[in-house]
Amino acid sequence: MGPETIYANWRPEHNARYPFSTPAKIFISDLDLTLESLLSSRTFGMARSRAKERVIEAIEEGKVGGKWTSPDTPDPKRLNEIISYPLARMIVSCISDEFLIRRYALAEAENVSAFLKNEDDHDILFAVGKELGLDGEKKENKITVGFHDFIEITKDMSAVDWKLVNQDLRQGMVYLDKSKFIRLVKERVYHEILKDLPISVNADIEESLSGIIDDVIAKLEKMKDKFVDRDLGEVEEGLFPPCIKGLIKKQAEGQNLSHEARFALTSFLHKIGFDEDQIIAIFSRSPDFRVDLASYQIEHIIGKVSSTEYTPPGCGYMKTGGICFKPDSLCGTEWMNHPLTYYSYKKKHESEEKD
Ligand code: SF4
Cβ of 315 less than 6 Å from ligand 1:
yes
Q: pLDDT value at position 229?
A: 45
Q: In what helix (H) or strand (E) does residue 70 lie, and over which residues does it extend? A: none
Cα 247 from Cα 323, distance rounded (Å): 8
> How much distance in Å is there from the Cα of 302 to the middle of ligand 1?
21
pLDDT score of 282 = 81
Q: How far is the CA of 261 from the centre of ligand 1 (A)?
A: 13
- Cα–Cα distance measured from residue 154 to residue 313, given in angstroms and rounded to the nearest whole number: 20
Interval between CA 263 and ligand 1 midpoint (Å): 15
- Go through the chain and tell me how many residues it has: 355
Nearest alpha-carbon partner for 219 in 48, 59, 58: 59
Sequential DSSP letters for 259-277: HHHHHHHHHHHHHTT--HH
Total-model pTM? 0.71
Is residue 53 within a helix (H) or strand (E), and if so which, with residue range?
helix 45-61
Write phi, then psi, for 157 (nearest 5 degrees).
-100, 110
Q: How far is the CA of 285 from the centre of ligand 1 (A)?
A: 23
**Residue 31 carries which side chain, given as an amino acid letter?**
L
What ranges make up the beta strands (E) of the chain? 137-139, 142-146, 168-170, 173-176
Q: Containing H/E element for 346?
A: helix 339-354
Q: What is the pLDDT of residue 288?
A: 58
In this structure, which amino acid lies at residue 149? D
Contact indicator for 284, 269 with CB cutoff of 8 Å: no
pLDDT at 307: 62
- Order of all β-strands in the sheet with 168-170: 137-139, 142-146, 173-176, 168-170
Contacts of 83 (CB under 8 A, 6+ apart): 28, 33, 38, 44, 47, 51
Contact 93, 216 (CB under 8 A): no
- Could you give the CA distance from residue 112 to residue 121 in angstroms, rounded to a whole number? 15
With a cut of 50, which residues of the chain have pLDDT below it?
Answer: 228-233
Check pocket membership of 12 for ligand 1, CB cut-off 6 A. no
DSSP code of 142? E
d(CA 187, CA 203): 33
d(CA 73, CA 52): 21
Please give the number of the atom of ligand 1 that sits closest to the Cα of 332: 1
For each of the domains in the chain, give its residue range(s) and CATH number, in order of start.
3-217 (1.20.930), 237-354 (no CATH)
Distance 336 CA to ligand 1 centre (A): 8
Helix (H, G, I), strand (E, B) or coil at 179: helix
Pocket of ligand 1 contains residue 242 by CB under 6 Å: yes
C-alpha of residue 339 to centroid of ligand 1, in Å: 6
Q: How far is the CA of 246 from the centre of ligand 1 (A)?
A: 10
Residue nearest ligand 1's atom 3 by CA:
339
DSSP per-residue string spanning 282-336: HHTTSTT--HHHHHHHHHHHTTTTTSPPPPPP-HHHHHHTT---S--TTTTSTT-
What does 211-229 look like in DSSP terms, one character per residue?
HHHHHHHHHHHHHHHHHHT
Which residue has its alpha carbon closest to ligand 1 atom 2?
Answer: 315
Instruction: Write the residue with the smallest CA distance to atom 4 of ligand 1.
Output: 331
Distance CA 149, CA 184 (A): 9
pLDDT at 287: 56
Residue nearest to atom 1 of ligand 1 (CA): 331
User: Are 109 and 190 a contacting pair, CB within 8 Å?
Assistant: yes
Beta-carbon contacts of residue 217 (< 8 Å; ≥ 6 apart) = 95
DSSP structure class, residue 7: T
Residue to mutate, 318, 325, 329, 347, ligand 1, most ligand atoms under 8 Å from C-beta: 318
Asked whether 263 lines ligand 1 (CB < 6 A), one says: no
